[in-house]
């Protein structure tokens, strides 16, 4: 091959440029710190870099943000819990005061000081429950924008507060009679005798609130009832459930539509296909009760010949539809199943602005239970479609074989409540109740009997009438049956249920139930004062049509802190706080006020005695002084006993708080381990990312020197090659 000067010149220039490009690439890499600047330079490095950057980004989100936020939430919770249960904390100080109360040498002024301090510590106890993290209240579950207790007095009404207890919560209530009949200084008494002053003790269940919305002239048959007491007993055989295989699934029509008034409605309807075995053929009506009290009823059926569905709807007495739905879940009209309805359609669907449906499959759970508590109980088998949760609870009525008359409530948290009529072991009408979780498994089961009060004490009742009610209840304690036998009275003013002996003995003997309480008082309350706990944080209740805590699921707030790793960060109020602390302080204050009143009357009587010289008046006043002193002695003993009883309540509150501290600490420890692991993983992946993308500066410096040397050498060589000679012209 003939090599010309032109060829040599071109090759030299080409190589010079390549050497300059190499020097430029190395120089650029040093300045940017990266091996490549465009994916095309090295696709392998580029692909690996994308993957590593994604991993580092995710790890950074977990390690630098999620974990830090979760740790801060747990730290705020720990600090609050420590302030109420740690050394020199609210509850510890409260326990010291309660322990000091029963001292027999305490004077009235001593007790006054102690009770005042207890009230102040009680208020601080609930103030701690209002602690927040970044504007979100720490102990109020999902409702992070709502404080634990009321910040001011309110007339907001809560209905159907479900106040639950166990049998061990029942204690006693003492009543010293005739304390209101002593002289007040403006008159001389008609010789109140010691025999007029009596002490009556009856069974008591103290509710979580006082000043209930129930009047003395209440209607026991009102609908809804003003007050109910429910006690629960174990079934003869506890309920069990099994989720049936997919072959037993039922069709579910999910309907969403908007009526002409602009109100949207959504409901999930298990389809009645007439089979009966899997539960779908046993559903007759689904009822949704709205916050304003209106009811919606629906039914869904399937035509076995063409596979279409028909949905009927009635809202507060007005019929809509029926909706025709084809097998694909599309709403149609007329005979053409494949022609979707163009809403609004006043001809076929008057009053409907728009509507959509889908058809899905729902699992079925089989529940077997023995609802009766007696020895002749028989087993029932109920099939329940596992429907989707909704914004408002709705009910499904079941009319199958032995399970006729059962109702399933689908709760807003996705859990289920199965209820049906039965008898308790005494043969009285009752309800069988089975609570199921969102997966269809049994959470709890029991037989529930409802009682109504025989009488109510409110602020309008005189001391004499209250004395008489206590006397009647007490008579049953000493074996003399009265009209209150096996019954109870509600003191709406103080928030207490007072039991006859027979009922007291029955309720205190109730056995514990798995995942349920044995007693449930249902009542309304309107007047809350500053510092009262909000019922929605501790109880199932209804406020302004909104139903709170219906179901069994808790308020679990989880942070995603790693690949497939979540950690619960919140501690809910019902795990830490109890209304017993405030109610204990109220009990002590009520007794102290009675002692103060009687003591004042004793002083008045003594003054009257000193000011009179009439022998008959002196004798009469002296007798009344003895009677008043007897009442004061009774109240003194009651006060000492109350302090002794409160020790148990404070200890329970401390135990609850300590348990919450332990649980929170366990979460923090787990989070520390996760954080440590994330730190190591982040460091590892950043190192891999750096090895893949970043330039080794020492190596790059050497390469730059070599590239520059090569470039300069190529210039020198080319300079010699490019020198013009005579041969260039020959």
The pLDDT of residue 301 is: 86
Whole domain around residue 140: which residue ranges?
37-154+533-577+647-694
Of the segments 95-104, 214-223, 225-234, 708-717, which one has the largest average pLDDT value? 225-234
List the single range of 77-86, 258-267, 289-298, 316-325 with lowest mean pLDDT: 289-298
As a whole number, mean pLDDT of residues 221-242 equals: 88
Residue 52 has pLDDT above 50, yes or no: yes
The pLDDT of residue 233 is: 94
Question: How many domains does the chain divide into?
Answer: 3
Residue range 594-620, pLDDT digits in tens: 999 999 989 988 888 888 888 888 888
Based on the domain organization, do 544 and 562 belong to the same domain?
Answer: yes
d(CA 88, CA 135): 27
**Tokens describing residue 15:** 């190589």
Cα–Cα distances in Å, from 317 out to 138, 267, 298, 313, 561? Answer: 44, 17, 12, 10, 51
Is 449 contained in some domain?
A: no
Based on the domain organization, do 546 and 678 belong to the same domain?
Answer: yes
The pLDDT of residue 515 is: 94
Residue 634 has pLDDT above 90, yes or no: yes
Residue 375 has pLDDT above 70, yes or no: no
Based on the domain organization, do 571 and 706 belong to the same domain?
Answer: no
Is 14 contained in some domain?
A: yes
d(CA 532, CA 579): 9
Q: In the chain, what percentage of residues exceed pLDDT 70?
A: 91
pLDDT band at 274 (very low <50, low <70, confident <90, very high): low
Residue range 493-515, pLDDT digits in tens: 999 999 988 899 999 999 999 99
Based on the domain organization, do 690 and 651 belong to the same domain?
Answer: yes
Residue 470 has pLDDT above 60, yes or no: yes
Based on the domain organization, do 553 and 661 belong to the same domain?
Answer: yes
Is 442 contained in some domain?
A: no
The pLDDT of residue 401 is: 45
d(CA 12, CA 357): 76
Is 135 contained in some domain?
A: yes
Burial (CB count <10 Å: 0-12, 13-18, 19+), residue 25: middle
As a whole number, mean pLDDT of residues 99-108 equals: 76
Based on the domain organization, do 64 and 135 belong to the same domain?
Answer: yes
**Tokens describing residue 430:** 């009752």
As a whole number, mean pLDDT of residues 92-102 equals: 87
- The set of residues, in sequence order, having a beta carbon less than 8 Å from that of 4 and lying 6+ positions away, is none
Residue 539 has pLDDT above 90, yes or no: yes
Residue range 295-309, pLDDT digits in tens: 889 988 888 888 899
Is 352 contained in some domain?
A: yes
As a whole number, mean pLDDT of residues 127-132 equals: 92
d(CA 249, CA 414): 18
Strand-pair category, 455-457 with 488-491: parallel
As a whole number, mean pLDDT of residues 5-24 equals: 78
Is 619 contained in some domain?
A: no
**Tokens describing residue 460:** 């309008």
The pLDDT of residue 694 is: 72
The pLDDT of residue 211 is: 94
Based on the domain organization, do 279 and 291 belong to the same domain?
Answer: yes
What is the DSSP secondary-structure string of 233-267? Answer: E--SEEEEEEEPPGGG-EEEEEEEEEETTS-EEEE
Based on the domain organization, do 12 and 104 belong to the same domain?
Answer: no
d(CA 81, CA 663): 11
Based on the domain organization, do 23 and 93 belong to the same domain?
Answer: no
Is 274 contained in some domain?
A: yes
pLDDT band at 68 (very low <50, low <70, confident <90, very high): very high
Quick one: the chain helix, strand, coil %, rounded to 5? 40, 25, 35
Strand-pair category, 416-423 with 406-410: antiparallel
pLDDT band at 399 (very low <50, low <70, confident <90, very high): low
Residue 516 has pLDDT above 90, yes or no: yes
Is 683 contained in some domain?
A: yes
Instruction: Return the closest-CA partner of residue 126 out of 52, 57, 208, 50.
Output: 208
pLDDT band at 697 (very low <50, low <70, confident <90, very high): confident
The pLDDT of residue 376 is: 52
Based on the domain organization, do 572 and 663 belong to the same domain?
Answer: yes
**Tokens describing residue 219:** 């209607």
Residue range 422-450, pLDDT digits in tens: 888 888 889 999 999 988 999 999 999 99
């Amino acid at each position: 091959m003939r090599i010309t000067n032109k060829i040599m010149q071109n090759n030299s220039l080409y190589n010079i440029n390549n050497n300059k490009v190499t020097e430029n690439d190395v120089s650029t890499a040093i300045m940017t710190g990266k091996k490549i600047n465009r994916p095309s330079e090295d696709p392998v490095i580029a692909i690996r870099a994308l993957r590593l950057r994604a991993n580092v980004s995710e790890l950074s989100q977990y390690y630098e943000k999620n974990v830090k936020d979760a740790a801060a939430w747990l730290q705020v919770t720990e600090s609050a819990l420590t302030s109420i249960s740690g050394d020199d904390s609210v509850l510890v100080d409260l326990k010291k005061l309660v322990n000091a109360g029963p001292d027999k040498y305490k004077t009235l002024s001593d007790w006054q000081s102690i009770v005042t301090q207890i009230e102040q510590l009680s208020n601080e106890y609930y103030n701690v429950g209002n602690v927040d993290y970044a504007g979100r209240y720490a102990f109020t579950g999902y409702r992070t924008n709502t404080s634990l207790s009321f910040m001011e007095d309110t007339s907001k009404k809560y209905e159907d507060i479900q106040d639950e207890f166990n049998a061990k919560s029942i204690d006693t209530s003492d009543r010293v009679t005739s304390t209101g009949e002593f002289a007040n200084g403006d008159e001389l008494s008609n010789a109140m005798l010691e025999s007029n002053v009596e002490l009556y003790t009856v069974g008591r269940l103290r509710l979580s609130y006082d000043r209930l919305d129930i009047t003395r002239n209440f209607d026991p048959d009102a609908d809804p009832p003003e007050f109910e007491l429910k006690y629960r007993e174990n079934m003869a055989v506890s309920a069990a459930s099994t989720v049936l295989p997919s072959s037993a699934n039922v069709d579910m029509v999910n309907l969403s539509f908007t009526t002409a008034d602009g109100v949207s409605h959504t409901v999930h309807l298990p389809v009645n296909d007439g089979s009966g075995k899997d539960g779908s053929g046993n559903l007759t009506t689904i009822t949704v009760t709205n916050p304003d009290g209106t009811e919606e009823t629906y039914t869904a059926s399937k035509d076995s010949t063409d596979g279409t569905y028909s949905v009927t709807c009635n809202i507060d007495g007005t019929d809509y539809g029926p909706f025709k739905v084809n097998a694909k879940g599309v709403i149609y009209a007329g005979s053409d199943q494949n022609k979707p309805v163009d809403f609004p359609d006043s001809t076929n669907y008057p009053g409907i602005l728009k509507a959509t449906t889908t058809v899905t499959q729902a699992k079925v759970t089989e529940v077997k239970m023995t609802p009766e508590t007696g020895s002749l109980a028989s087993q029932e088998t109920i099939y329940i479609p596992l429907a989707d949760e909704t914004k408002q609870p709705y009910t499904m009525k079941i009319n199958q074989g032995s399970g006729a008359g059962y109702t399933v409530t689908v709760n807003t948290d996705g859990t289920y409540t199965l209820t049906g009529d039965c008898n308790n072991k005494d043969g009285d009408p009752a309800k069988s109740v089975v609570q199921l979780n969102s997966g269809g498994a049994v959470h709890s089961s029991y037989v529930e009997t409802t009682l109504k009060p025989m009488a109510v004490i409110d602020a309008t009742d005189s001391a004499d009438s209250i004395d008489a009610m206590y006397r009647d209840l007490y008579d049953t304690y000493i074996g003399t049956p009265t009209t209150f036998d096996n019954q109870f009275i509600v003191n709406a003013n103080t928030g207490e249920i007072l039991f006859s002996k027979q009922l007291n003995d029955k309720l205190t003997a109730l056995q514990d139930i798995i995942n349920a309480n044995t007693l449930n008082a249902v009542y309304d309350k309107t007047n809350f004062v500053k510092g009262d706990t909000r019922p929605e944080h501790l109880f199932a209740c209804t406020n302004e049509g909104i139903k709170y805590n219906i179901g069994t699921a808790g308020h679990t707030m989880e942070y995603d802190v790693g690949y497939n790793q979540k950690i619960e960060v919140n501690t809910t109020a019902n795990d830490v706080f109890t209304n017993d602390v405030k109610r204990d302080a109220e009990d002590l204050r009520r007794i102290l006020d009675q002692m103060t009143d009687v003591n004042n009357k004793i002083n008045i009587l003594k003054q009257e005695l000193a000011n009179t010289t009439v022998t008959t008046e002196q004798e009469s006043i002296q007798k009344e002084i003895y009677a008043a002193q007897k009442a004061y002695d009774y109240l003194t003993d009651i006060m000492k006993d109350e302090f002794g009883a409160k020790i148990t309540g404070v200890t329970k509150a401390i135990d609850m708080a300590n348990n919450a501290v332990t649980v929170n600490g366990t979460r923090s420890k787990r989070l520390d381990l996760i954080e440590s692991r994330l730190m190591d993983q982040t460091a590892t992946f950043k190192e891999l990312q750096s090895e893949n993308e970043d330039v080794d500066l020492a190596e790059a410096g050497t390469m730059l020197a070599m590239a520059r040397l090569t470039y300069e050498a190529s210039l020198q060589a080319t300079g010699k090659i490019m020198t013009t000679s005579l041969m260039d012209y020959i």
